[in-house]
Protein backbone atom coordinates (compact mmCIF):
# COMPACT_ATOMS: atom_id res chain seq x y z
CA UNK A 1 0.00 0.00 0.00
CA UNK A 2 1.71 3.16 -1.25
CA UNK A 3 1.06 5.94 1.23
CA UNK A 4 2.82 8.59 -0.86
CA UNK A 5 2.20 8.62 -4.60
CA UNK A 6 3.81 10.50 -7.42
CA UNK A 7 1.70 9.52 -10.39
CA UNK A 8 3.82 11.18 -13.07
CA UNK A 9 7.07 9.26 -13.64
CA UNK A 10 8.35 12.02 -15.92
CA UNK A 11 7.79 15.65 -16.86
CA UNK A 12 9.37 17.78 -19.59
CA UNK A 13 9.30 21.57 -19.44
CA UNK A 14 10.81 24.33 -21.53
CA UNK A 15 13.50 26.47 -19.89
CA UNK A 16 12.01 29.59 -18.30
CA UNK A 17 8.53 28.08 -17.92
CA UNK A 18 6.92 26.76 -14.73
CA UNK A 19 7.44 23.16 -13.59
CA UNK A 20 4.68 21.67 -11.42
CA UNK A 21 5.33 18.36 -9.69
CA UNK A 22 2.49 16.66 -7.87
CA UNK A 23 2.24 14.31 -4.92
CA UNK A 24 -0.73 12.62 -3.21
CA UNK A 25 -0.81 10.90 0.16
CA UNK A 26 -3.26 8.68 1.99
CA UNK A 27 -2.05 8.68 5.61
CA UNK A 28 -3.80 11.38 7.61
CA UNK A 29 -1.10 11.09 10.31
CA UNK A 30 1.47 12.73 8.03
CA UNK A 31 2.18 16.21 9.37
CA UNK A 32 5.39 17.27 7.66
CA UNK A 33 6.25 17.09 3.99
CA UNK A 34 9.51 17.46 2.13
CA UNK A 35 10.78 17.59 -1.43
CA UNK A 36 14.15 16.16 -2.33
CA UNK A 37 16.06 16.44 -5.60
CA UNK A 38 18.31 13.59 -6.73
CA UNK A 39 20.97 13.57 -9.43
CA UNK A 40 22.39 10.25 -10.70
CA UNK A 41 25.10 8.77 -8.45
CA UNK A 42 24.25 11.21 -5.64
CA UNK A 43 22.05 11.01 -2.56
CA UNK A 44 18.80 12.98 -2.33
CA UNK A 45 19.32 16.68 -1.61
CA UNK A 46 16.79 18.51 0.54
CA UNK A 47 14.94 21.18 -1.40
CA UNK A 48 12.01 22.56 0.58
CA UNK A 49 9.55 21.45 3.25
CA UNK A 50 6.18 22.37 4.69
CA UNK A 51 4.42 21.70 7.95
CA UNK A 52 0.78 20.63 7.92
CA UNK A 53 -0.17 23.82 9.76
CA UNK A 54 0.72 25.82 6.64
CA UNK A 55 -0.59 25.70 3.09
CA UNK A 56 2.33 27.36 1.31
CA UNK A 57 6.06 27.71 1.72
CA UNK A 58 8.34 29.60 -0.62
CA UNK A 59 12.11 29.57 -1.08
CA UNK A 60 13.45 31.45 -4.06
CA UNK A 61 12.29 29.76 -7.25
CA UNK A 62 10.67 26.91 -5.31
CA UNK A 63 7.20 26.96 -3.76
CA UNK A 64 5.40 24.06 -2.14
CA UNK A 65 1.61 24.07 -1.78
CA UNK A 66 -0.27 21.79 0.60
CA UNK A 67 -3.98 20.97 0.30
CA UNK A 68 -4.78 18.92 3.40
CA UNK A 69 -8.41 18.28 2.53
CA UNK A 70 -7.37 16.76 -0.80
CA UNK A 71 -4.24 15.15 0.71
CA UNK A 72 -2.27 16.70 -2.12
CA UNK A 73 0.90 18.72 -2.38
CA UNK A 74 2.72 20.25 -5.28
CA UNK A 75 6.11 21.75 -5.98
CA UNK A 76 6.32 24.74 -8.32
CA UNK A 77 9.63 25.76 -9.88
CA UNK A 78 9.65 29.17 -11.56
CA UNK A 79 11.48 29.81 -13.78
CA UNK A 80 12.74 26.33 -14.63
CA UNK A 81 16.41 25.99 -15.52
CA UNK A 82 18.30 23.15 -17.26
CA UNK A 83 20.18 22.51 -13.99
CA UNK A 84 16.85 21.61 -12.39
CA UNK A 85 16.75 18.41 -14.45
CA UNK A 86 16.77 15.62 -11.85
CA UNK A 87 14.49 13.14 -10.11
CA UNK A 88 12.24 14.82 -7.54
CA UNK A 89 10.98 12.85 -4.55
CA UNK A 90 8.10 13.81 -2.34
CA UNK A 91 8.44 12.56 1.26
CA UNK A 92 6.25 12.66 4.33
CA UNK A 93 6.92 12.40 8.04
CA UNK A 94 4.50 10.55 10.26
CA UNK A 95 3.75 11.85 13.75
CA UNK A 96 2.68 8.35 14.77
CA UNK A 97 6.29 7.21 14.44
CA UNK A 98 6.98 9.34 17.49
CA UNK A 99 10.29 11.12 17.72
CA UNK A 100 11.86 8.90 15.05
CA UNK A 101 10.16 10.77 12.22
CA UNK A 102 10.86 8.16 9.57
CA UNK A 103 10.30 9.44 6.05
CA UNK A 104 7.93 7.77 3.59
CA UNK A 105 8.85 8.52 -0.01
CA UNK A 106 7.01 8.56 -3.30
CA UNK A 107 8.51 6.83 -6.33
CA UNK A 108 9.83 10.05 -7.85
CA UNK A 109 9.28 12.21 -10.94
CA UNK A 110 12.03 12.70 -13.52
CA UNK A 111 12.01 16.39 -14.49
CA UNK A 112 13.71 17.36 -17.73
CA UNK A 113 14.11 21.06 -18.48
CA UNK A 114 14.72 21.61 -22.16
CA UNK A 115 16.96 24.52 -23.24
93 touches another protein (CB under 8 A): yes
108 touches another protein (CB under 8 A): yes
Pick from 94, 104, 47, 101: nearest CA to 74: 47
96 touches another protein (CB under 8 A): no
**Which residues are CB-contacts of 33 (< 8 A; sequence separation ≥ 6)?**
23, 25, 49, 50, 52, 64, 66, 73, 90, 91, 92, 93
Instruction: Figure out which of the listed residues 19, 30, 35, 44 binds another protein, where binding follows CB under 8 A.
Output: 44
- Cβ of residue 17: shortest distance to another protein, in angstroms? 26
Q: Scan residues 47-66 and list those touching another protein (CB under 8 A).
A: 49
- Cβ of residue 79: shortest distance to another protein, in angstroms? 27
- Residue 64 class from Cβ within 10 Å (0-12 exposed, 13-18 middle, 19+ buried)? buried
Q: Where does this chain bind another protein (CB under 8 A)?
A: 4, 6, 32, 34, 36, 41-46, 49, 89, 91, 93, 97-108
Amino acid sequence: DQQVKQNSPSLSVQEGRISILNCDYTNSMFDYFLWYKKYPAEGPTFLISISSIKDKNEDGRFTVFLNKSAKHLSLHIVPSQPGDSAVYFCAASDQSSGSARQLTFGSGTQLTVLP
